[in-house]
Amino acid sequence: MDERQLRILRELGDLGSVSAVAEALHVTPSAISQQLRLLQRAIPVPLTERAGRRVVLTDAGQTLAAAAIEVESALARARHAITDFAKQPDGGVSVAAFHSAASAFFPLLLRGLAGPDHPRLALADEDVAQDRFPALTRDYDLVLAHRLDHAPPWPRTVTSTTLLREPLDIALPADHRLASKPLLTPRDVADEPWITVHDGFPVMATIEAISSVANRRLDIVHRINEFAVVAEAVAAGGGLALMPRWTTRAHPDVVLRPLRGVHARRHIDVLHRPERTARLAVRTVLAELHRAAAAIQRRDP
């Protein structure tokens, strides 16, 4: 049993197929299968089994894959012990975020970590469905992800910390008949045309809750994920929308109104693999993300 074999087992549990593991690790499927056979010889109980055409982990395999996380974390800490001892930043740190979080957090990170004595940032936008965020932690040190308050927690294979619990408000044109109301209810907005995200993205669950409370199906006319574009469509009279209160830029022709009667709030979480924070540079960026989150929330009048 060695580190590489344990990592392959862990990736198999995450990705669900030998071919997907081979692609992620840039080797051939036969090489992955060979390493799994070598690992199995050292273990007295089966680690994998067939589920149709797929290879999945048994309960024993899942237990060993979970232990592999601790092994990788310990090895990562050992590799970076000298760097941490000297209190020196350790090179570059890659950060991915969905669009509205990138717009709010990236400028604050760049300003807060400017200068030669800070980690070198590599920033990327990743607009993916909620269930795909954990997989991004293979490619990035830190991943900003979003989920609704009542959504299931992130899988145990990643570490998560909440940066913001952000309200979702109703966005409507400034001259709309409902703009004068300080609070809106699902019945107020149920008969309006709607602009919302594509299926699989967190905001859709709140849209469905509005429909359920109002006891009618919403008229969804536009599907747009980028909130800056949503704001333009709302301002042009394309419909109402749910928009985050803090992480989207104000539009002069759009107003936001709180929604009563539906729990409308999202978490902005930072995800990472446990071993990543063995690096001082990653911990430095993580601390700066928390400072940025506090600054973003303080903007709320």
Q: What tens digit of pLDDT does each residue of 159-174 get?
A: 999 999 999 999 999 9
What would you report as the CA-atom Rg of the chain, rounded to the nearest whole angstrom? 23
User: Which pLDDT score is estimated for 301?
Assistant: 57
Task: Give 54's pLDDT tier (boundaries 50, 70, 90).
Answer: confident
CA angle at residue 234 from 232 to 240, to 5 degrees? 155
| Contact by Cβ (8 Å): 90, 118 | no
CATH architecture, range 3-79: Orthogonal Bundle (1.10)
Query: Structure pTM?
Result: 0.73
Query: How is domain 88-163+269-298 classified at the architecture level of CATH?
Result: 3-Layer(aba) Sandwich (3.40)
Q: 104, 113, 12, 7: which is closest to 54 by C-alpha?
A: 12
**Domain 88-163+269-298 shares a fold with domain 165-266:** yes
Domain range 165-266, its CATH number among 3.30.70.100, 3.40.50.2300, 3.40.190.10, 3.40.50.300 = 3.40.190.10
Q: What is the mean pLDDT of residues 169-198?
A: 94
Least trusted range by pLDDT, from 60-69, 167-176, 251-260: 60-69
Domain boundaries, the chain: 3-79, 88-163+269-298, 165-266
Q: Is the pLDDT of residue 87 over 90?
A: no
* Residue 152: count of CB within 10 angstroms of its CB: 9
**Could you tell me how many residues make up the chain?**
301
With bands split at pLDDT 50, 70 and 90, how would you rate the model's confidence at 86?
A: very low
For residue 187, the model assigns a pLDDT of: 93
Which amino acid is residue 84, in one-letter code? D
Model pLDDT for residues 109-157, shown as the tens digit of each residue? 999 999 888 999 999 999 888 889 999 999 999 999 999 887 888 998 8
- Is the per-residue pLDDT at 84 higher than 70? no
Max avg pLDDT among 40-44, 65-69, 152-156, 180-184: 180-184
Structure tokens at 157: 């294979």
For residue 201, what pLDDT is reported? 79
Neighbours of 3 (CB within 10 A): 11
Confidence of residue 83 (pLDDT cuts 50, 70, 90): low
The pLDDT of residue 79? 74
Distance from C-alpha of 168 to C-alpha of 153, rounded to nearest angstrom: 19
